[in-house]
Structure 1
Amino acid sequence: MTAVTDQDHTEHPERSENPADPESPGRSEDPGPSGRHDEGPSRADTGSPWDDGLIARRVNGNAGEEQRRVTEPRASTPQKVIPLAYGPQLGARLEALRELVGLSRARLDNRTLAQAGRVLDEAAARRGLSGRHTVVALAGATGSGKSQLFNALAGVPISETGVRRPTTAAPIACSWSDGAAGLIERLGIPPRLRRRPLQATADADDRLRGLVLVDLPDHDSAAVQHREQVDRVLGLVDAVIWVVDPEKYADAMLHERYLRPMAAHAEVMFVVLNQIDRLPGEAAEQVLDDLRRLLDEDGIALGEHGEPGTTVLALSALTGEGVGDLREALGRFVGERGAPARRISADVDVAAARLWPVYATRRRTGLSEEAREEFSDRLADAVGATAAGEAAERAWLRNANRACGTPWLRLWRWCQDRGEPSTGRSTLRGQLDEEATARQRVEQAVRTVAERASTGLPAPWAQAVREAAVRGSQGLPEALDELAVRAGLPPGRPPRPGWWPVAVLAQMSMTALQFVGGLWLLGQIVGVMAPNLGVPVLLMVIGIVGGPLIEWSCRLAARGPARRYGLEAERRLREAAAGCGRARVLDPVAAELLRYREVREQYGRVTGTVARTG
């Protein structure tokens, strides 16, 4: 990128294929006042003692030209790339995360799942690239001396340093071995910005074999595109070396924007305090202790006493003090070849932590049997199951009274029914009021069960449960009314007990005795029969008293069967209402709860913990 202001350095110009070409390494171009690109200041023609910031010491300008040369990528026979292999545990976590995202697509928005999707994409992309290389980024603020450290590790000036900021305009990669082209291409670094170190000693080459070191632009650069490149590359590398200096090691931007959010990546991070040669006496140890304190406050685990965590070192890229310790630590780190998997595992941890509010709950969730029964009872009350049972009981008793009652009482009741005035309009008004009340009861029952089912669930799943209940409640009152008609009283007459014909025959006998006695008395009155009042009167008294007595006895005997008949009618209506409510409301709600339990279990596999579902 060509800079447009004097404050921004330009990209490295295209290098010559000849390493000795004076136009190739260590130079940067900056547009002069005339619009012509002039050579940037070299180490020899600047009088400043620091050429990597106000506090970065100047590299010896009399160093041999051979030490300044950049070793260009060497043409070599293409080597077979051995892809990265994830362990069983990490592979299972990635598969669980993939299942989790798939199950959540219909319930969570794309923004919520975006980071998890990126982790899966990056894990798949990294898995197809070299598993024998470790990509490590050098990141730091303006003047921290990371470019000097980059050159010190490579053994030759590769990355440019200078007084103008930002000095590094684009990432530069340096690979210690072949086969890393795919990894570097993934970072978007063009071939002209890829380098090979000057292999001063075979020992250094062996220790860092497999390392791909990337020098990033300053993360606090004034150029927005530089900061964007830093953020982009930091999301793709396997590890990061944060280079801080005695002046900016406590910078709030560094800690709040980068270190604190990356606390989960402690095992793939190095924090290097550079320029300790500027600190007198024990000041370096004091600054280093304060740096460790700040990292601890950021939640970053420090790899001390053999424990896994961030490696914290102090060095001077200018004098070389401590650079050997970093080289040795890097050698062990790269030799383990575990950084890519640990980086992906940390990415999964971060994604899972951000998904915690939409999956995890500390309360027991689901619908209890008590809540289900209460919902069914509310629906039964809405359709009048109790009233229907009582009506069925009264109908059975009425039928028994008609069959077993005296003819004279039945005739009186018939006349009474015929004499009652018509109440059609009042009945219609009452029916409308009852329907409105029933609808309100159904709606209240649905709201209650939805609230109980969604209690304790994360917001997206609680909303999904409520929406499922609302969808099921549409048309539920009408369906319940139809069921009430079908499942209320059974068609035909109520069943008759075995004693019923005997009672009817006895009642007919009592009526017959009344008629016989009456006719006998009438015959004596008209003189057809001989006078004898005792027998006909006795027959009439037996018929008159026996008829009501038999009716009263039948009523007592009919209470049990009538009650059972009414309870059976109520049970049928309750079961029908419960079945309708279960099919329309409870089953969809249960399906949402089951989906939540599934994703909760998958989330538990992602986090590596046992999911406790409700």
Structure 2
Amino acid sequence: MTAVTDQDHTEHPEHPEHPEHPEHPGHSDRDAGGPPRTDTASPWDDGLIARRVNGSADEEQGGVAAARTPVPQAVAPLAYDPWLRTRLDALRELVGLSRARLDNRTLAQAGRVIEESNARRRLSGRHTVVAIAGATGSGKSQLFNALAGVPVSETGVRRPTTAAPIACSWSDGAASLIERLGIPPRLRRRPLQATADADERLRGLVLVDLPDHDSAAVQHREQVDRVLGLVDAVIWVVDPEKYADAMLHERYLRPMAAHAEVMFVVLNQTDRLPGEAAEQVLDDLRRLLDEDGIVLGEYGEPGTTVLALSALTGDGVGELRESLARFVAERGAPARRISADVDIAAARLRPVYATRRRTGLSEEAREEFADRLADAVGATATGEAAERAWLRNANRACGTPWLRLWRWCQERGEPSTGRVAPRGRPDEEATARQRVEQAVRTVADRASAGLPPPWALAVREAAVRGSQGLPEALDELAVRAGLPPGRPPRPGWWPLAVLVQVSMTVLQFVGGLWLLAQIIGVMAPNLGVPVLLMAIGIVGGPLVEWSCRMAARGPARRYGQEAERRLREAASGCGRARVLDPVAAELLRYREVREQYGRVVGVGAGTGTGTGAGRD
């Protein structure tokens, strides 16, 4: 089967058959039937249009409307619906919040969507820009001419044919849209004004004929990719030989599956297929499109329109024209195109924002971090030391004089080097520092668990920055918030206990002196009373000391617990200010961007992050 090729020619003024060549019969300094050309001609009346139209179309179709100067009109800008505006605002906010956390390459596509949506919104809302794209030999330029009703896009056998995009507008006011596509005035056309009805049905359409997407010229493919990112809709023209081309499906159709509502897929050259072969090829094309993930609007639902036609014979072109007329009349293609762009940008950003795990810093993790810091500064040991100090003070105040004297002598008899046990201070400091570092790593791992990689890295970096200087700060806190200077406070019953202990000592002295007086004969012998007094003093003193020690256990424990609590709170406050608060700030930022991402994808605010309550 011989392929019917496109008849598109690249414009070459130096060619003798080109309309701008001096030897061409249509070349003239005056447009046919019009006034002499001037430098102030309208963008549509560039001479090339009139020469081509009057030199060829008049002979082939019996007359073409002459190029006319459009009357300047106020063009109403495009207005997005509130839902799309909300999504675009959320995407803009999302990009702004993520600049410091994500690289420019990750945010590049979202930034382009925002820029293009802003640029398109400032332009005409009454026009719909539709590009015709296809491979070499698919007949897209032939279809372009059939829709315009006049050969405005040159055709020919030589490949590649269309070298630059050519625009054809069915109404005035589309100049800014065409300029946005980078199409110069010399490549702008007007369709055949055969009937007023045809003009009205497609009013607002701007049709763009693109170069071949599989052209051997790299600049042609670059132009196709550039323009496809700017138009409101696209008509993909395929032929029976290349409709299953892997390049078309993998590079264009599959990535543009989200744009199904603003795409047409046209099987051209059906005149080459015998019998029911056209329906078979069309069914196979629908199957391939379904595998690409493209929704087909076969039963009235939103989706891609798939048609079969022959641009050469005109069979099916009217159906495409009717579909285009309805499509343009809706004036919803620009907004649907932007909405699909937002969908694609959101899908590509999903790995850096969305997570299915519950994330955040639980209260349990916070308490464990505080306990680790308290252990690092020795809060428990400090409390125990405070308790022992309180008990020691109680023993000194309520102990018997003889026991206190014995302890004093024992302390005096000990060597000075033995009073303070030697301590491995450097080792203790190293161990404390290691405990602090381990505590920071643990809380950072727990806070970043389940987060997307960029945000997990930001949380860990915030924790590491906060841990710098934390051991030294904890050491200072341990000195300030440790044992208070001076002796521990005394309870109210201590004076009574001291008085009783003094009384027991006095009884011992009185009984002893009484016995001594009896021994030397100063007093009459009577052993019962002095011995009883001495016995009461000797037994009562230790008994009072033991009672005071039992009574002092509760206050001593509370005093130690208070000392431990103060140090724990000080260490926890230091860790919170230096580590937990920066980590919570990063988690809060992630929650904000997660909520914005939820608005971008069209769902409610995300519930995936808790910054300190232990839940999402």
TM-score, normalized by length of structure 1?
A: 0.89
State the alpha-carbon separation in 2 of the partners of residues 550 and 483 from structure 1.
39
Query: 1:556 maps to what in 2?
Result: 550
Which residue of the partner structure matches residue 477 of structure 1?
A: 471
- Cα distance in 2 for partners of 1:290, 1:380 equals 71
Equivalent-residue separation in structure 1 for 2:64 and 2:450 (angstroms)? 62
Displacement of 1:126 after TM fit? 0.3
Q: Give 1:606's match in structure 2, choosing from 600, 604, 612.
A: 600
Deviates more, 1:76-85 or 1:531-540: 531-540
Q: In the alignment, what sits opposite 1:461?
A: 455
The 5 Å alignment of 1:513-592 reads 513-592=507-586
Q: 1:421 to 1:284 in 2, by over 3 A?
A: farther
Amino acid at match of 2:263: M
In 1: Cα distance, 2:451 partner to 2:12 partner: 55
Q: Distance in 2 between matches of 1:317 and 1:378?
A: 78
Distance 1:396 1:15 in 2: 110
Taking the TM superposition and a 5 Å limit, the aligned residue runs for 1:432-471 are 432-471=426-465
CA distance in 1, matches of 2:516, 2:63: 148
Contact (CA 8 Å) 2:232, 2:337: kept in 1 or not?
yes
Matched-pair contact (CA < 8 Å) for 1:100–1:599: yes
- Asked whether the equivalents of residues 376 and 574 of structure 1 are also in contact (C-alpha less than 8 Å), the reply is yes
Provide the secondary structure at the position in 2 that maps to 1:305: coil
Measured after TM superposition, the shift of residue 565 of structure 1 is: 1.1
**Number of residue pairs the alignment of both structures matches:** 569
The equivalences for 1:105-504 within 5 A come to 105-423=99-417, 429-504=423-498
* Aligned counterpart, 1:43: none
Q: Distance in 2 between matches of 1:63 and 1:158?
A: 9
SS in 2 for 1:418: helix
Matched-pair identity in %:
87
| C-alpha contact 1:112 1:355 (8 A) present in aligned 2 | yes
Alpha-carbon contact 2:64-2:193 (below 8 Å) kept: no
Give distance in 1, aligned partners of 2:226 and 2:290.
26
Q: Contact between 2:202 and 2:324, CA under 8 Å: does it hold in 1?
A: yes
Is 1:596 equivalent to 2:590 in the alignment? Answer: yes
Name the SS for the 2:424 alignment partner. Answer: helix
Contact 1:69 1:157 in 2 (8 A): no
One-letter amino acid matched to 1:219: H
Once the two structures are TM-superposed, the CA of residue 517 in structure 1 deviates from its matched residue by: 2.1
What is the aligned-residue RMSD (CA, Å)? 2.2
Shift in alpha-carbon separation, 1:595–1:133, aligned structure 2, 3 A? same
* Residue 581 of structure 1: how far off its partner (Å): 1.0
Aligned-partner Cα distance in 1 for 2:114–2:315: 41
Aligned partners of 2:417 and 2:262: how far apart in 1? 86
Q: For residue 15 of structure 1, report the CA deviation from its aligned partner.
A: 6.9
Kindly state the Cα deviation for residue 417 of structure 1 after the two structures are TM-superposed: 2.4
Question: What CA distance in whole angstroms lies between the structure 2 residues aligned with 1:289 and 1:147?
Answer: 24
Shift in Å at residue 291 of structure 1? 0.2
Structure 2 unmatched ranges of 5 or more: 1-7, 29-55, 610-616
- Rounded to whole Å, the distance in 2 between the matches of 1:266 and 1:442 is 56
- How far 1:104 sits from its partner (Å)? 0.5
Contact 2:167 2:208 in 1 (8 A): yes
Corresponding residue SS for 1:242:
strand
CA shift, 1:384, in A, is 1.3
Which residue, out of 71, 82, 89, partners 1:88? Answer: 82
Matched position secondary structure for 2:299:
coil
Contact 1:70–1:196 (Cα < 8 Å) also in 2:
no
C-alpha contact 2:19 2:26 (8 A) present in aligned 1: no
Specify every segment of 5 or more residues in structure 1 that has no aligned partner in the other structure, as ranges.
1-7, 25-61
Q: Deviations over 1:228-251 (max 9, x none)?
A: 000000000000000000000000
Residue 243 of structure 1: SS of its match in structure 2? strand
Q: Which amino acid aligns with 2:151?
A: P
Q: In 2, Cα distance between the equivalents of 1:114 and 1:252?
A: 27
Amino acid at match of 1:480: L
Structure 2 distance, partners of 1:83, 1:63, is: 35
Q: CA deviation at 1:522?
A: 2.9
